[in-house]
């Protein structure tokens, strides 16, 4: 995000930060039609718990990101590996 410092989130504890961005400048995106705008934009989202643990994701919109955050908070704050498979904190 633009507020990051050297690639690190500056989101304060207990708060969220988000920013919408457009994928139109990325190669391979040739969407057209009524839903083209929704397919070209994403939201980058950071949330830091009151105890300082950071959750970060990319979503279709702010509501999508908040649903992902709520799932993460509710289900034991699982980490997701690069393959997309959840793993516990102790395996991280």
Give the per-residue pLDDT at 63.
Answer: 95
Measured between its terminal Cα atoms, the distance across the chain in Å is 24
List residues bridging with 33 in a β-sheet: none
Mean per-residue pLDDT, 79-87? 49
Are 21 and 41 in contact by the 8 Å Cβ rule? The answer is: yes
Which tokens in the block code for residue 8? 């690190």
Number of domains in the chain: 1
Mean per-residue pLDDT, 19-29? 69
The answer to the question of residue 54 being in a domain is yes
The model's pTM is 0.66
Are 63 and 37 in contact by the 8 Å Cβ rule? The answer is: no
pLDDT in tens, 46-80: 999 999 888 999 999 999 999 999 999 988 776 65
Q: Which domain holds residue 50?
A: 15-27+35-91
């Amino acid at each position: 995000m633009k507020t990051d410092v050297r690639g690190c989130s500056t989101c304060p504890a207990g708060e969220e930060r988000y920013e919408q961005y457009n994928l139109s400048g990325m190669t391979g995106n040739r969407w057209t039609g009524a839903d083209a705008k929704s397919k070209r934009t994403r939201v980058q989202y950071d949330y830091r718990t009151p105890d300082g643990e950071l959750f970060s994701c990319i979503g279709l919109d702010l509501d999508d990101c908040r649903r992902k955050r709520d799932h993460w908070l509710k289900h034991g704050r699982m980490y997701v590996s690069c393959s997309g498979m959840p793993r516990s904190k102790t395996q991280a």
